[in-house]
């Protein structure tokens, strides 16, 4: 039997760093979005808004499993209040791939035990529903997360499919020719020739600690300029918490060697930027920004250059993360089918949600305003 412990205060959370990192490295859910660095930076802007409900399983005094939950409030029909458990880092950061962190060698047993712990006397009063919005269910770890959930019959759920997409990288000699449709590659070639006629141009990367802050500010500027041109708000303007997260995490990501902040420069002026991270052999494409008044197609040229660098670094995947579109298909991206999981305790309060297939993404069931 495992001993269950709940971390529900920030002082105890801050002591978990070493154990969290060690266990993540021993798991098959080892993603940048579950790293201590990501979660702790996200927490800086969220500590006043959420309550922790991290579930630990201990064997003797060793942590062998972590369910990285926090608790927040939802309202049904703007009136009935619900306590919802969500995955740490799931909002205002760009995170994907919610999962439990457990020892890889015992993942099935440990994930089932975590699901069962949610029904224990100590924990069941802390929540009404669980909302995991972005499970990468083609992954071995996430398959186990879902299969172990279905072994706990007392937990009810709704599931629906969501799209992800990524490019599989093979090697520099073969893949760069194969990645991208013929029309896309032709357009990239034409844009490169136009850039050349304008004068000197290059693709560069943030290479020094001193460059992080000014390049990040330039990135925010181009990102907002791009959306203003479309008469829309950019994600950083819509979400100050997202901006705070980037400002905290990006310098740390640079120090860890994860940051890939790329830019296309023409005549000594930056005209397009792409922000991503490299972690465990995968490039995660997070955000982009372009000068909407400059030459069209520069973003495609920049992405092509970033993919070339990924191949040179011998990465195995370029991950577009959520969504699949014709644009991503033109880059030879493969559609991946993920899962959204909405879990209910077996109680009368939850019956309307279950019977009428209510989701926490619609008009009837929404996160309560802070």
Residue 175 scores a pLDDT above 90: no
The answer to the question of residue 115 being in a domain is yes
* 236 and 114 both lie in a single domain: no
* 94 and 211 both lie in a single domain: no
Work out the average pLDDT over 244-254.
Answer: 97
Domain range for 40 = 3-163+338-367
List pLDDT tens digits, range 2-16: 999 999 999 999 999
The answer to the question of residue 326 being in a domain is no
Instruction: Identify the band that residue 368 occupies on the pLDDT scale cut at 50, 70 and 90.
Output: confident
Residue 295 scores a pLDDT above 60: yes
The answer to the question of residue 331 being in a domain is no
The answer to the question of residue 276 being in a domain is yes
* 156 and 189 both lie in a single domain: no
Work out the average pLDDT over 126-141.
Answer: 97
The answer to the question of residue 270 being in a domain is yes
What percent of the chain is predicted at pLDDT more than 90? 89
List pLDDT tens digits, range 54-104: 999 999 999 999 999 999 999 999 899 999 999 999 999 999 999 999 999
pLDDT at res. 369: 75
Residue 1 scores a pLDDT above 90: no
* 237 and 349 both lie in a single domain: no
3-state secondary structure the chain: CCEEEEECCHHHHHCCHHHHHHHHHCCCCCCHHHCHHHHHHHHHCCCCCCEECEEEEEECCEEEEEECEEEEEEEECCCEEEEEEEECCCCCCCCCCCCCEECHHHHHHHHHHHHHHCCCCCCHHHCCEEEEEEECCCCHHHHHHHHHHCCCCCCEEEEEEEEEEEEECCCHHHHHHHCCCHHHHHHHHHHHHHHHHHCCEEEEECCCHHHHHHHHHHHHHHHHHHHHHCCCCCHHHHCHHHHHHHHHHHHHHHHHCCEEEEEEEECCEEEEEEEEEEECCEEEEEEEEECCCCCCCHHHHHHHHHHHHHHHCCCCEEEEEECCCHHHHHCCCEEEEEEEEEEECCCHHHHHHHHCCCCCCCCCEEECCC
pLDDT at res. 347: 92
The answer to the question of residue 325 being in a domain is no
The answer to the question of residue 256 being in a domain is yes
pTM of the model: 0.95
pLDDT at res. 49: 84
* 10 and 146 both lie in a single domain: yes
Higher-confidence position of 290 and 49:
290
* 159 and 174 both lie in a single domain: no
* 91 and 237 both lie in a single domain: no
Q: What's 287's domain CATH number? A: 3.40.630.30
Residue 176 scores a pLDDT above 70: no
Work out the average pLDDT over 132-154.
Answer: 97
The answer to the question of residue 333 being in a domain is no
* 179 and 213 both lie in a single domain: yes
Find the Cα–Cα–Cα–Cα dihedral 204, 274, 305, 254, rounded to 10°.
60
* 123 and 255 both lie in a single domain: no
* 229 and 352 both lie in a single domain: no
Contact status, residue 235 vs residue 242, Cβ threshold 8 Å: yes
List pLDDT tens digits, range 329-353: 999 999 999 999 999 999 999 999 9
What domain count does the chain have? 2
List pLDDT tens digits, range 192-243: 999 999 999 999 999 999 999 999 999 999 999 989 988 988 889 889 999 9
Work out the average pLDDT over 316-332.
Answer: 96
* 310 and 349 both lie in a single domain: no
């Amino acid at each position: 039997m495992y001993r269950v412990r709940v971390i529900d205060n920030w002082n105890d959370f801050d002591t978990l760093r070493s154990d969290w990192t060690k266990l993540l490295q021993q798991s098959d859910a080892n993603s940048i979005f579950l790293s201590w660095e990501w979660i702790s930076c996200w927490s800086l802007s969220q500590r006043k808004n959420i309550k922790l409900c991290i579930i630990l399983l201990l064997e003797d005094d060793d942590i062998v499993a972590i369910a990285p939950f926090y608790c927040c409030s939802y309202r049904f029909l703007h009136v009935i209040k619900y306590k919802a458990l969500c995955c740490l880092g799931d909002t205002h950061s760009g995170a994907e791939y919610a999962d439990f962190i457990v020892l890889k060698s015992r993942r099935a047993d440990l994930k089932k035990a975590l699901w069962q712990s949610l029904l224990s006397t100590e924990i069941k009063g802390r929540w009404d529903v669980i909302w995991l919005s972005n499970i990468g269910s083609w992954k071995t770890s996430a398959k186990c997360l879902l299969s172990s959930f279905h072994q706990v019959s007392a937990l009810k759920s709704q599931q629906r499919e969501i799209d992800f997409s990524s490019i599989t990288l093979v090697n520099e000699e073969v893949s760069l020719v194969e990645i991208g449709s013929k029309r896309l590659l032709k357009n990239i070639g034409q844009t490169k020739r136009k850039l050349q006629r304008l004068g000197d141009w290059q693709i560069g990367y943030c290479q020094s600690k001193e460059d992080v802050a000014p390049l990040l500010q330039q990135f925010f500027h181009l990102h907002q300029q791009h959306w203003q041109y479309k008469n829309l708000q950019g994600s950083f303007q819509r979400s100050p918490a997202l901006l705070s997260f980037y400002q905290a995490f990006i310098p740390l990501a640079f120090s860890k060697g994860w940051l890939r902040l790329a830019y296309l420069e023409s005549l000594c002026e930056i005209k397009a930027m792409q922000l991503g991270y490299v972690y465990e052999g995968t490039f995660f494409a997070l955000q982009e920004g372009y000068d909407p008044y400059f030459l069209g197609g520069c973003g495609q040229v920049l992405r092509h250059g970033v993919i070339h660098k990924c191949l040179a670094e011998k990465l195995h995947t370029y991950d577009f993360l959520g969504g699949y579109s014709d644009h991503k298909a033109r880059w030879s991206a493969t559609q991946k089918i993920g899962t959204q999981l909405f879990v209910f305790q077996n109680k009368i309060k939850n019956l309307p949600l279950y019977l009428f297939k209510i989701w926490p993404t619609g008009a009837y069931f929404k996160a309560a305003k802070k």
